[in-house]
Structure 1
Amino acid sequence: MAMENDGATQVNEQTMCMCGRIVAMRIAWTENNMGMRFLGCSYYRRPNAYNYFKCMDLPLLHPRYKSVINGLLRNANRKAVLEKEWKRIVLYHRIVLAMVVLVVVLVHYVL
């Protein structure tokens, strides 16, 4: 099981969930718990799971840091969405260009 040491939780190989799986250390990326480490079952937050959860440390981030990190994450997500949209537009234009070339070639050989 987990052992307490000067306020920080130490994990050994035997830290297990009630379902029998070894728990994993995770980092929270929610706005309220940004950067907080916790132990969670591999089935954490899935249906019919035990949802084993144990905080590893106190929240480390000042509220201002949380807002900055959340802004960076939003920008990263926005960038990923824009890149995906750009790839879709490029693919669309390539298909249109291929169709135009096909029509020009067909018209050239038919006439």
Structure 2
Amino acid sequence: MAMENDGGTQINEQSVCLCGRIAAMRTSWTENNPGRRFLGCSYYGRPDACDYFKWVDPPLLNPRYKSVMNGLLRNANREADLEKKWQRRVLYHRLLLGILVLAILVQYGLWW
């Protein structure tokens, strides 16, 4: 079992949350803690989750690191949004082309 250090406290990777389940290792992508790992209830977001939370990584002390991490995250999100828009546009054009081909086939009686 590996151990992690949160700036002085040893944390067991198999830590148990307040409801008795093994805590899940997660990564924070908030502006204040980009890329910082923490342990939390494995049922986070569900009604039966507990409030267990413990940082694994120490805070980023250099503001430049936070700035760089947040910039990278914004770029990644922007690229993901552009990819989704592109996929929707391709789907729209394929649908439009299919309708156009179907209309031509029906108009010239080639559909039956």
Residue aligning to 1:67: 67
Aligned-partner Cα distance in 2 for 1:106–1:3: 67
Aligned-partner Cα distance in 2 for 1:69–1:89: 30
Residue aligning to 2:17: 17
Query: Greater shift after overlay, 78-87 or 41-50?
Result: 41-50
Aligned-partner Cα distance in 2 for 1:35–1:77: 14
User: TM-score of the superposition, structure 1-length normalised?
Assistant: 0.76
Which consecutive residues of structure 1, in runs of 5 or more, have no partner in the other structure? none
Aligned-partner Cα distance in 2 for 1:83–1:26: 25
The aligned length equals: 108
- Pairing 1:21-100 to 2, within 5 Å after superposition: 21-44=21-44, 46-47=46-47, 49-60=49-60, 62-100=62-100
User: TM-score of the superposition, structure 2-length normalised?
Assistant: 0.75
For residues 37-88 of structure 1, the C-alpha deviation after alignment (integer angstroms, 9 at most, x for no partner) is 3221112354453211112242135211211211211121111111111111
- SS of 2:39's equivalent? strand
Which consecutive residues of structure 2, in runs of 5 or more, have no partner in the other structure? none
Distance 1:5 1:78, change over 3 A: closer
Identity of aligned residues (%): 57
Query: Greater shift after overlay, 22-31 or 4-13?
Result: 4-13
Question: Match for 2:105: what amino acid?
Answer: V
